[in-house]
Structure 1
Amino acid sequence: MSLWSRTRNAVYGEITRTSMELFLTRGFDATTIDDIAAAAGISRRSFFRYFGTKEDVVLGDLATRGDLIRQALEARPDGEDPWDALCAALHSVKDAAYGSDEEMLAVFKMVHQTPSLRARSIEKHLQWQAMLTPEIRRRLGADPSDPLDVRAEALVASVLTCLDVAGEAWGRADGKVPLEDLFDAAAAAVHGGSS
């Protein structure tokens, strides 16, 4: 990695840490881009070199996590039930999330309580759906050119909704119940107990 790339990554990380501290202490909506720039020692213009929006600071790496889930899904055994493969892929990348459970819980709560973050999160999950659907189509033996075969999209959307519902419940429970257990309960309710 070049010096320029290392420097860029370091600045990106510093802006992210500074922003998250402000969001979690002041609140997302109460924190402005100017606040972030001042605290990070950068200009407003520099902020926009790294992030398109405040929401991207919180949710920008969801696309990366979606790719990790896709890779984990593709690594699952071919004969595995597509639903079970999706659930297992999600479980396998849980440690690539936000850090400690306390940090992750604070972020989940912030996302679910902030309409702009919630909307951006749904948008990112739609990107995940587009990434994961081709592999589920393959596992189902579906014709990728058949626009009326909605099975793969339905399976992926259902699993992602289970994740979203579990995350919201985890936040309501203040993390007292493991997120994985809530996800498994939601998945079992949708898929008849086979996950």
Structure 2
Amino acid sequence: MSRGQDALHDSREQALKRFRLLHNTASLRAGWLEKRLRFQEELLPLVEARMAGTAAGDTAPRARAVIATAFACLDAASMTWVDNDGEGELMDLYDECLAAVRG
């Protein structure tokens, strides 16, 4: 959990405790999801702008898919990290999840 995670948490144990709380408390998880969906909407114009030159047509569906996939991979990585009691590096798990989606 070293790549950037140390700046958010005092220790791996603290991070694991917070992630467990988030994943196992329905109201916190719902609040996080709501916040994340707002953040995804705010990211949409930025991702659309980057995709504008890549293909013809409306970029919104593709941009939404890219953003949603990135967040889904973050969820999968963090849930796996919690299930593994904080073993390994969260960002390595995230990279692994992205690689699985890319095929």
When normalised by structure 1's length, the TM-score is 0.45
CA apart distance, 1:140? 0.4
Which residue identity is paired with 2:71? Answer: L
Q: How does 1:113-152 map to 2 (within 5 A)?
A: 113-141=24-52, 149-152=60-63
Q: Which deviates further from its counterpart, 126-135 or 111-120?
A: 126-135
Match of 2:16 in 1: 105
- Report the CA distance shift for 1:182/1:129 in structure 2 as closer, same or farther (over 3 A): same
- Segments of structure 2 that go 5 or more residues without pairing to the other structure are none
Indicate the structure whose relative CO is greater, using CA pairs within 8 Å and at least 6 residues apart.
Answer: 2
Kindly report structure 1 stretches of 4+ aligned residues shifted beyond 6 Å.
none
Instruction: Count the aligned residue pairs.
Output: 98
Which residue identity is paired with 2:22? Answer: V
Contact 2:19 2:78 in 1 (8 A): yes
CA apart distance, 1:100? 2.3
CA apart distance, 1:101? 2.1
Match of 1:157 in 2: 68
Cα distance in 2 between the residues matched to 1:178 and 1:111: 18
- Segments of structure 1 that go 5 or more residues without pairing to the other structure are 1-91
**Superposed CA offset, 1:12-50 (max 9, x none):** xxxxxxxxxxxxxxxxxxxxxxxxxxxxxxxxxxxxxxx
**Superposed CA offset, 1:118-176 (max 9, x none):** 1111112112212222111111017xxx8773111110010001001111111010111
Cα distance in 2 between the residues matched to 1:180 and 1:135: 23
Q: Of 160, 177, 184, which aligns to 2:88?
A: 177
Q: Name which one, 1 or 2, has greater alpha-carbon Rg.
A: 1
